[in-house]
Amino acid sequence: MIVCSCQVISDMDIEQALVDILREPNAPLPTPGVVYRHLAKKMVCCCCSPLAVSTIYDKIDRLAARGIVCPYACEHVRGRLRKRASETSQRLCEYASR
């Protein structure tokens, strides 16, 4: 499945990038930006961002279930992603209330 038509990035490209990224010591949060940079691509219109995020979550779950990446590392990454999303939404709420 094509996730980003601007850069022609498939779900399999994202899966392979996640395998590489999550096997790194102190792996960064696998945000779309991190995954795209790993693939040597840049977001053009950002319309793919929601699909990229859901694909990243789905692929992390599937890779952990297949034993390709450590489920504990994945849970740690998910926790960091949730925290970052919470911080971002809090900043947006504070900005909107000004």
pTM exceeds 0.75 = no
The DSSP call for residue 2 is E
Reply yes or no on whether the pLDDT at 95 is more than 90: no
Q: Per-domain residue ranges for the chain?
A: 2-96
Measured distance CA(45)–CA(55) in Å, rounded: 18
Distances in whole angstroms, Cα of residue 54 to Cα of each of 63, 74, 89, 92, 98: 14, 15, 18, 21, 31
Structure confidence by residue, pLDDT tens digits, 45-65: 888 888 998 899 899 889 988
